[in-house]
């Protein structure tokens, strides 16, 4: 160890024991330590990008070197502290029931409460400050979806779980309902052992995907993924995929809901992740009636807000098109038929076409 290292006079193992305790106090359920070698994962990512499977997410194709090399993104980085924070607030049965109820709107679990980015970033910075108070100033940078970081690969290498066939991280003792965050640091902390995979021959996540977006184990075609189409995609949702989207208006959880390892998942204790605005029970028609002002007010501090009112209405129009025909559904769609946005109008017309019976020619 270099004599000028902040922990040159400290026992790295004892320091990590204290760091784990501090992380737990801050609400993180797990923390692990890994190095910066991501060569194998970087090659897989480049192949995925070369095949154009990222859709409109141009940011995925940018800053490749920074994503692949943590020490290029934050010079001097030797270790990555990877943390997990649980967010599940409902049972699998509750969510399957919501998906099966065509009149209700399904919002992905992670987005029903307060946006996790700021909360986790603040907690990670507090953890870094606590470390600095113990060892003195040290080089570091905190990340929560805020830079080109291969967070799942790093978390796997840090022992937090393996990357499942649906591309989400799975912890064999806690399932997959959790957020990830990182601290890049120049502290030479002791490494944890990488997690090993335990999917075996199971293909439930591949089989259940409504749009067949998981084209092979560990291979996701974002252009077909409901989470991508309802959150990242800015234009019209491809008409051939609209019926399969069902009532999923923001994200999709099917591949995680079906995963047998999630029988071990625990309900999150973090108050900020509790459901707001009744998003676990809301009807499509009620959400479709939100004005832009109401949308901005009700989604303040939520991940949904970055979608914008226009795409919110686009998504719900698709849900209404897939809902059972009723006066409430048809009336809701008619209320937006003259909307200023061509994007909204086009999806409303498609949805109405799913409910209006074609004229029957009189018999001669």
Alpha-carbon span 138 to 55, nearest angstrom: 39
Q: Is 348 helix (H, G, I), strand (E, B) or coil?
A: helix
In the annotation, is 253 catalytic?
no
DSSP 181-198: EEEEE---PPPPPPP---
Other beta carbons within 10 angstroms of residue 354's beta carbon come to 16
C-alpha of 124 from chain center: 19
Q: Which residues pair with 106 in a beta bridge?
A: 248
Which residue from 99, 140, 96, 102 is spatially nearest to 121, judged by alpha carbons? 140
Q: Which of 37, 71, 101, 145 is catalytic?
A: 145
Alpha-carbon span 132 to 118, nearest angstrom: 21
Query: Is 148 within 8 Å of 62 (Cβ atoms)?
Result: yes
Q: CA end-to-end span of the chain, whole Å? A: 95
Just list the catalytic residues.
145
């Amino acid at each position: 160890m270099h004599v000028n290292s902040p922990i040159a006079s400290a026992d790295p193992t004892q320091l990590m024991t204290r760091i784990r305790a501090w992380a737990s106090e801050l609400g993180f359920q797990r923390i692990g330590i890994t190095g910066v070698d991501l060569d194998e994962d970087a090659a897989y990512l480049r192949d995925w990008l070369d095949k154009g499977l990222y859709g409109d997410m141009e940011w995925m194709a940018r800053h490749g070197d920074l994503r692949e090399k943590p020490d290029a993104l934050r010079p001097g980085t030797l270790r990555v502290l990877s943390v997990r924070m649980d967010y599940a607030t409902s049972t699998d049965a509750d969510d399957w029931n919501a998906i099966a109820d065509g009149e209700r709107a399904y919002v992905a679990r992670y987005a029903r409460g307060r946006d996790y980015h700021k909360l986790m970033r603040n907690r990670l910075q507090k953890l870094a400050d606590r470390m600095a108070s113990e060892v003195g100033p040290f080089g570091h940078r905190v990340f929560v979806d805020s830079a080109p970081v291969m967070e799942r690969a790093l978390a796997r290498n840090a022992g937090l779980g393996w990357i499942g066939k649906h591309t989400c991280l799975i912890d064999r003792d806690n399932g997959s309902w959790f957020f990830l965050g990182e601290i890049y640091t120049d502290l030479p902390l002791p490494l944890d052992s990488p997690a090993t995979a335990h999917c075996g021959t199971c293909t439930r996540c591949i089989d259940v995907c409504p749009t067949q977006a998981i084209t092979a184990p560990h291979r996701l075609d974002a252009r077909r993924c409901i989470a991508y189409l309802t959150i990242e995609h800015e234009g019209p949702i491809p008409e051939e995929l609209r019926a399969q989207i069902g009532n999923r208006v923001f994200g999709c959880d099917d591949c995680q809901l079906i995963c047998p390892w999630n029988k071990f998942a625990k309900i999150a204790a973090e108050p900020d992740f509790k459901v707001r605005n009744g998003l676990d029970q809301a009807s499509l028609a009620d959400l479709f009636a939100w004005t832009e002002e109401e949308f901005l007010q009700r989604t303040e501090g939520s991940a949904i807000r970055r979608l914008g009112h226009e795409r919110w209405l686009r998504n719900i129009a698709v849900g209404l098109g897939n809902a059972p025909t009723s006066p409430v559904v048809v009336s809701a769609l008619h209320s937006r038929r003259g909307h200023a946005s061509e994007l909204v109008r086009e999806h409303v017309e498609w949805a109405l076409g799913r409910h209006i019976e074609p004229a029957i020619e009189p018999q001669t």
